[in-house]
Amino acid sequence: MTVVAEEGLERHFEHTIERDQRIEPRDWMPDAYRATMIRQIAQHAHSEIIGMQPEGDWITRAPSLRRKAILLAKVQDEAGHGLYLYSATETLGVDRADLTTRLIERRQKYSSIFNYPTLTYADVGVIGWLVDGAAICNQVPLCRSSYGPYARAMIRICKEESFHQRQGYELLMTMMRGTGAQKEMVQDAVNRWWWPSLMMFGPPDADSPNTARSMAWKIKRHTNDELRQRFVDMTVPQAEALGVTLPDPDLRWNPERGHHDFGPIDWDEFKRVLSGDGPCNAERVARRRRAHEEGAWVREAAAAHAAKRRTR
Ligand code: BYC
């Protein structure tokens, strides 16, 4: 391609972004845009798939048939989200099998939040309330992300996430109407999940290498700190209604800013978890690797079946 032709394509790409229209798979895009989209969507897909584990651990121990049915449906939805997102990544010219290899060889990340253990059933409720709540805050703006297949996948995912959040809140409401021990279980789970939930939004803006470019390309519509603040403001009244205390002595309304101030986040812990040294990193990846290896015969059988159908 001549330099002039490439300049024309680049101008067209920039115009599409400026006019708030979508970039589609067959459109020309800068290599760095493609690489950023592959990185973000693949990591998002991995998060959904690894995210099945902490809650999945409780399916066989759910306290009633109703709770078991709800949890099964939620974990199944997460598998579905992973699949739409892997499909969206494939529109950028990568292969899903290769992405799985990158995950199990730890060459690509997944959300830090899924490296924490689920110790009691209250954790299932708190994941729904806080983790899915944080996910909604982060993902609703992604429905307007500039890459078409990602933005469209996010619309359905967000609808399901909002149901997930409500089921978590309803579970916690039920436990908070229960015995003293149940209330303590909820408070303990909130204490453990609050700070990791704030870390889900990523490093502070000043330490976020990707934000500026992703904002300019309208992949991200808000910065990490803006979304984190939105989440805190949204969650404080929900905690009050629930009757739990958020474990931050510095958390208070600031009338001048019109937002809640909150205490410092332990970014060393975040870095440790990202480097592979969180409480459950090794276990999560090992389990995903085992599932992949044990599923080899299914992939082989499906490929053989497809080949047979083609020859018929
Ligand atoms: N955990 O420059 P930054 C779910 C990485 S699924 C791990 O700010 P960016 C759910 C970041 O990737 C939740 N890594 O990056 C599922 C980058 O590393 P690389 C997943 C993190 O991309 C089941 C580096 O740190 N949601 O909700 O501009 C059940 C520097 O960061 C994290 C998504 O994936 C983290 N928390 O912004 C329930 C949403 N934070 O790639 C719930 C889509 C940052 O350069 N993703 N890093 O090696 C995004 O919105 C953005 O990618 C992020 C990070 C806000 C996460």
Digit-coded pLDDT (tens) for 183-219: 999 999 999 999 999 999 999 999 999 999 999 999 9
Q: What mean pLDDT is predicted for residues 9-35?
A: 97
Pocket lining: 77 vs ligand 1, CB cutoff 6 Å: no
pLDDT band at 2 (very low <50, low <70, confident <90, very high): confident
Structure confidence by residue, pLDDT tens digits, 82-125: 999 999 999 999 999 999 999 999 999 999 999 999 999 999 99
pLDDT band at 4 (very low <50, low <70, confident <90, very high): confident
Assess contact for 270 and 198: CB atoms under 8 A: no
Pocket lining: 123 vs ligand 1, CB cutoff 6 Å: no
Pocket lining: 289 vs ligand 1, CB cutoff 6 Å: no
pLDDT at 83: 96
Give the H or E element holding residue 253: strand 252-254
pTM score of the predicted model: 0.96
Pocket lining: 199 vs ligand 1, CB cutoff 6 Å: yes
Percent of the chain with pLDDT over 90: 97
Instruction: Report the C-alpha gap between 49 and 38 in whole angstroms.
Output: 16
Pocket lining: 165 vs ligand 1, CB cutoff 6 Å: no
Instruction: Report the C-alpha gap between 141 and 137 in whole angstroms.
Output: 8
Assess contact for 114 and 178: CB atoms under 8 A: no
The neighbouring-strand residues paired with 147 are: 23
Q: Is 238 helix (H, G, I), strand (E, B) or coil?
A: helix
Q: What mean pLDDT is predicted for residues 243-255?
A: 98
Assess contact for 55 and 179: CB atoms under 8 A: no
Q: In this model, does residue 1 exceed pLDDT 90?
A: no
Assess contact for 61 and 121: CB atoms under 8 A: yes
Q: What mean pLDDT is predicted for residues 232-261?
A: 98
Instruction: Give the position, in ligand 1's atom list, of the atom nearest the Cα of 47.
Output: 6
- Going from the Cα of 43 to the center of ligand 1, the distance in angstroms, rounded, reads 7
Q: Name the residue at shortest CA distance from atom 16 of ligand 1.
A: 48
The neighbouring-strand residues paired with 260 are: 253
Q: Is 254 helix (H, G, I), strand (E, B) or coil?
A: strand
Mean pLDDT of the chain: 97
| 81, 210, 220, 277, best to mutate for ligand 1 pocket (most atoms within 8 Å of CB) | 210
CA distances from 215 to 33, 60, 137, 146, 222 (A): 12, 43, 16, 10, 7
Percent of the chain with pLDDT over 70: 100
